[in-house]
Amino acid sequence: MANVFPFRALRYTPEAGDITLLVCPPYDIIYDKEEQALLAKNKYNVIRLEKPTDYGEAAETLKDWLGGGILATDDAPSFTVYQEEFDDRGTRRKITGIIGDVGLEPFAAGVVLPHEEILPKARGDRYALMDATHCNFSQIYCLYQDPQRAVDRLMSGYTTNAPDLEFSDEDGVVHRFWRIDDPTDTQKITEAFHDKTLYIADGHHRYTTALEYYNEHPDINASRIMTMLVDMADDGLVIWPTHRLVFNVDNFSATDVLMQLSPHFEITLCEDIANVEEQLAKREDTVALYAGNRHYALLTLRDRAEMAKALPQHSEAYRGLDVALLHNMILEPVLGIGKAELAAQSHIKYTRSLQTALDAVDNGEAQCAFLLNATRIEQMADVSLAGERMPQKSTYFYPKLTTGVVMKQFNP
């Protein structure tokens, strides 16, 4: 049973200024150039809290902003409906969810289920920030199944009205927010989630960190984590593929790689990236290799029994993942990039942009790129229900949630 509650949100006050200058993307997709631009936008930009250079400094900044009236906590608990309208490769879409406070449960309880492995370094960073500030500045992202669409009906009573807040970001994503603080409606929403299982879409590190933090601080206010909840049936739900860039592999040769793979994979050579994308979308058990000079190789597993042989301890759901195929039939046995190397981030970089992947190979930043199809929503759910975790960066939910509109202080 999922426990989902309203909470007294921490928000910027009008004194902070234009909200578009105050918000930022999730911490893990902010790179150096973007970080400097965000810092320059406004002295109160939330990046100073979400991705600080010093955790103690973030705690002092939070204290100063609270004392100076830049941030304030709501008087009453509420849910917040959050809608994003965006362009998905030429198609305009909307996705609508609700931000609430989710009771922490160990994964073994089967109430909140993960689907990806995590990196120790990122978990340590999030714990240090939480320990210093006692806050959630960004929401984790969970999916749920609601065939009766009970939560959707409750939200639609608000989304037919003008939003309490609306703005567009630099990527053209429109963000809209509606506050639900009527006690009758908040109780209905809490009750609607009682029979739900939650699947973590994004935020595995933060959820794991919150569990650890609660074990150290067994206080009711630390027993929940701020979460964006979206129905799996929402037709705006989009997963983009995450491609792999390979670098720093000794004696790398694409020809040698293809020779080693040929007993197990049907290899189809292509010179047109559009054809590669089309064939990837049509084929199962297939990834593409790009090693430069506009020559691509489609790699299709000859016999899925090979995956069962290589991964007898895993479920059929896991063995059907293209990303599992890549990691277990190519990266580890052929290139020597196993779990230890992935954890150390010594040979693999990730990108959701196909063009970025190709450019990285062409300019020598990467030795090759492996191009993948996106993981499907139902695949993610099946792997989670099987109690397993995909390799890290197996899913990229687009668009990302903005950080800074709704925050949560554990002890307001």
389: in domain? no
Say which CATH number the domain at 113 has. 3.90.1530.10
Distance CA 134, CA 206 (A): 13
Q: Is residue 117 scored above 90 in pLDDT?
A: no
Please give the average per-residue pLDDT across 194-199, as a whole number.
Answer: 95
**253 in the same domain as 163:** no
Question: Looking at this protein, which amino acid is placed at residue 158?
Answer: Y
Distance CA 323, CA 287 (A): 8
**223 in the same domain as 347:** no
**228 in the same domain as 106:** yes
Q: Do the beta carbons of residue 206 and residue 138 sit within 8 Å?
A: yes
Distance CA 153, CA 215 (A): 36
- Dihedral angle, C-alpha 399, 404, 410, 412, nearest 10 °: -150
**202 in the same domain as 265:** no
DSSP conformation class of 373: P
- How long a stretch of residues is the chain? 412
DSSP conformation class of 147: T
- Dihedral angle, C-alpha 126, 128, 134, 138, nearest 10 °: -20
**22 in the same domain as 103:** yes
379: in domain? no
DSSP conformation class of 34: H
Residue 120: the pLDDT is: 66
**74 in the same domain as 180:** yes
Domain region containing 102 = 4-238+398-409
Residue 412: the pLDDT is: 65
322: in domain? yes
Strands 165-168 and 174-180, sheet pairing: antiparallel
pLDDT digits (tens, 9 = 90+) for 36-72: 999 999 999 999 999 998 999 999 999 999 999 999 9
258: in domain? yes
Residue 219: the pLDDT is: 75
Q: Is residue 121 scored above 70 in pLDDT?
A: no
390: in domain? no
**Long-range contacts for 310-314 (Cβ within 8 Å, ≥24 apart)?**
314/388
Please give the order of strands across the beta sheet that includes 265-270.
265-270, 296-301, 286-290, 368-371, 243-246, 348-351
How does residue 116 score in pLDDT terms, banded at 50, 70 and 90? confident
Q: Is residue 229 scored above 80 in pLDDT?
A: yes
**277 in the same domain as 233:** no
Question: Looking at this protein, which amino acid is placed at residue 294?
Answer: R
pLDDT digits (tens, 9 = 90+) for 253-308: 999 999 999 999 999 999 899 999 999 999 999 999 999 999 999 999 999 999 99
Look at residues 243, 206, 231 and name the one whose alpha carbon lies nearest to residue 104. 206
361: in domain? yes
234: in domain? yes
**287 in the same domain as 316:** yes
- 160-198 b/e (C-beta count within 10 Å ≥ 16 → b): eeebeeebebeeebebbbbbbbeeebbeebbebbeebbb
Both structure tokens of 184: 């009758």
274: in domain? yes
How does residue 29 score in pLDDT terms, banded at 50, 70 and 90? confident
Residue 312: the pLDDT is: 95
Q: Do the beta carbons of residue 358 and residue 273 sit within 8 Å?
A: yes
**Secondary structure of 267-302 in the HEC alphabet?**
EEEECCHHHHHHHHHHCCCEEEEECCCCCEEEEEEC
Q: Is residue 133 scored above 90 in pLDDT?
A: yes
Q: Is residue 188 scored above 90 in pLDDT?
A: yes
Angle separating helix axes 354-362 and 273-282, nearest 10 degrees: 130
**205 in the same domain as 126:** yes
Please give the average per-residue pLDDT across 99-112, as a whole number.
Answer: 96
Distance CA 351, CA 369 (A): 10
Residue 122: the pLDDT is: 67
Angle separating helix axes 150-159 and 183-192, nearest 10 degrees: 150
Distance CA 278, CA 368 (A): 20
Give me the number of domains the chain comprises. Answer: 2
Both structure tokens of 153: 């009906």
Three-class DSSP category at 63: helix
Q: Mean pLDDT lowest for which of 80-94, 106-120, 230-244, 271-285?
A: 106-120
Q: Mean pLDDT lowest for which of 95-99, 188-192, 221-225?
A: 221-225
Q: Is residue 24 scored above 80 in pLDDT?
A: yes
* Mean of all residue pLDDT scores within the chain: 94
Residue 216: the pLDDT is: 87
Three-class DSSP category at 160: coil
Q: Do the beta carbons of residue 283 and residue 276 sit within 8 Å?
A: no
Residue for token pair 């010179």 = 271
**274 in the same domain as 213:** no
Q: What are residue 106's phi and psi, to 5 degrees?
A: -60, 150
**192 in the same domain as 52:** yes
pLDDT digits (tens, 9 = 90+) for 134-169: 999 999 999 999 999 999 999 999 999 999 999 999
Both structure tokens of 383: 């792997």
Please give the average per-residue pLDDT across 213-240, as a whole number.
Answer: 91
Q: Is residue 3 scored above 70 in pLDDT?
A: yes
How does residue 225 score in pLDDT terms, banded at 50, 70 and 90? very high
Question: For the whole model, what pTM was predicted?
Answer: 0.90
* Higher-pLDDT residue of 53, 5: 5
Three-class DSSP category at 311: coil
Angle separating helix axes 204-216 and 120-133, nearest 10 degrees: 50
Residue 345: the pLDDT is: 84
pLDDT digits (tens, 9 = 90+) for 345-380: 899 999 989 999 999 999 999 999 999 999 999 999
Percent of the chain with pLDDT over 70: 99
Q: Do the beta carbons of residue 239 and residue 312 sit within 8 Å?
A: no
Distance CA 295, CA 276 (A): 10
Residue 34: the pLDDT is: 86
Q: Do the beta carbons of residue 8 and residue 75 sit within 8 Å?
A: yes
**326 in the same domain as 288:** yes
